[in-house]
């Protein structure tokens, strides 16, 4: 595999998905839930009791026996994991000889898919903001990891500058019931991006967000006169010493806006830095 090696698999071993909301789960799998009826794995009948849902009544059994019986199902469900990978141009940034944010995001996506598939779940991929769409329908099984790896390699960055709009449009094509992990640098207007993230989490979806950043984006370690060419368009001339304090303050406000809003919404959130092990960020995300 190009995006996940055996050493990273060893670091991820023992991690797993366990959706907090039962309705984020789908087909039969290993995840126990309090909800009844998502699984189609019938186990037995029992007599109807006050408080049981009418939809659980077996009307065919009533017609035969003239008594109400409730169908029982095994309450284990498979998680459908959908990874939304930001492939907008800003994700191609790389500083200090490090990997680009997009490549680190690819590795994290492969790791999440490996975790899901290893525990018997399904994994799918959707690229947002990229030049080449690399959507992969969620499936389980041994062959899906190789297909996921190939799809990650097919992703190419595009000139999309409106992350919020790209996320909004992706909400329409996602499964109605899924665990959705957004992997992005979240470079955009926080209010609009957060609104788009809320759209992704409506209904029977459970949202997680992994932000990928390069340390230069946080620290602004530059000196002298700078000519900054935006990866998504535009050129800016500035003096680094004058611009640094305002930039760092604005970046800190943006980060707190995301962290605070997602915390209040009970959405798991973690930051992966291109100068640190992405596996640790994935571990923090799944533990959040």
Residue 205 has pLDDT above 50, yes or no: yes
Instruction: Give the residue-averaged pLDDT of 81-98.
Output: 93
Phi, psi (5° rounding) for residue 68? -85, 130
Lowest-confidence pick of 107-116, 168-177, 274-283: 168-177
Residue 60: Cβ-neighbour burial (10 angstroms; 0-12, 13-18, 19+): exposed
Residue 75 has pLDDT above 50, yes or no: no
Give pLDDT tens digits for 154-183.
Answer: 999 887 678 999 999 888 888 888 999 999
Mean pLDDT of the chain: 84
Residue 195 has pLDDT above 50, yes or no: yes
Give pLDDT tens digits for 27-48.
Answer: 434 554 333 333 344 556 778 7
Domains annotated on the chain, with CATH: 6-21+77-287 (3.40.50), 40-73 (no CATH)
Lowest-confidence pick of 53-67, 103-117, 136-150, 173-187: 53-67
* Predicted confidence band of residue 20 (pLDDT cuts 50, 70, 90): low
What pLDDT does residue 19 have?
Answer: 66
The winner for highest mean pLDDT among 39-43, 139-143, 243-247, 262-266 is: 262-266
Give the pair of three-digit tokens for residue 121: 């779940």
Beta strands 269-273 and 235-239, pairing class: unpaired
Sequence-separated (6 or more) residues with CB below 8 Å from residue 284: 270
What pLDDT does residue 74 have?
Answer: 43
Lowest-confidence pick of 147-161, 173-187, 219-233, 260-274: 219-233
What pLDDT does residue 261 have?
Answer: 97
- Of 5, 274, 280, the closest CA to residue 149 belongs to 5
What pLDDT does residue 204 have?
Answer: 83
Q: CA-based Rg of the chain, rounded to a whole angstrom?
A: 22
What pLDDT does residue 34 have?
Answer: 32
What pLDDT does residue 274 have?
Answer: 98
What pLDDT does residue 133 have?
Answer: 66
Q: How far apart are CA 167 and CA 194, in angstroms?
A: 10
Q: How far apart are CA 141 and CA 43, in angstroms?
A: 25
Give the pair of three-digit tokens for residue 26: 């789908």
What pLDDT does residue 33 have?
Answer: 37
Q: Could you tell me the pTM of the whole model?
A: 0.79
Lowest-confidence pick of 31-45, 57-71, 92-106, 166-180: 31-45
């Amino acid at each position: 595999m190009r995006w996940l090696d055996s050493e990273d698999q060893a670091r991820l071993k023992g991690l797993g998905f366990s959706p907090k909301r039962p309705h984020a789960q789908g087909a039969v799998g290993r995840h126990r839930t309090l909800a009844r009826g998502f699984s189609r794995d019938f186990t037995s009948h029992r007599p109807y009791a006050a408080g049981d849902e009418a939809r659980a009544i077996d009307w065919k059994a009533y017609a035969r026996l003239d008594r109400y019986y409730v169908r029982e199902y095994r309450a284990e469900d498979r998680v459908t994991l959908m990874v939304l990978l930001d492939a907008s141009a800003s994700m191609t940034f790389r500083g200090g000889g490090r990997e680009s944010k997009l490549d680190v995001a690819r590795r994290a996506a492969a790791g999440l898919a490996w975790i899901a598939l290893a525990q018997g779940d399904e994994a799918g991929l959707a690229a947002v903001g990229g030049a080449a769409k690399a959507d992969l329908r969620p499936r389980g099984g041994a062959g899906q990891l190789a297909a996921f790896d190939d799809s990650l390699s097919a992703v190419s960055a595009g000139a999309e500058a409106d992350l919020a709009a790209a996320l909004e449009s992706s909400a329409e094509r996602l499964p109605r019931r899924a665990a959705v992990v957004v992997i992005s640098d979240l470079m955009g207007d926080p209010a609009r991006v957060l609104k788009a993230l809320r759209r992704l989490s409506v209904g029977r979806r459970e949202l997680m967000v992994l932000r990928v950043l390069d340390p230069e984006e946080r620290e602004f370690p530059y000196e002298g006169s700078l000519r900054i060419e935006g990866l998504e368009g535009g050129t800016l001339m500035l003096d680094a010493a004058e611009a640094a304090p305002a930039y760092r303050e604005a970046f800190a406000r943006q980060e707190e806006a995301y962290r605070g809003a997602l915390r209040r919404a009970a959405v798991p959130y973690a930051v992966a830095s291109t100068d640190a092990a992405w596996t640790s960020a994935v571990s923090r995300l799944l533990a959040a």
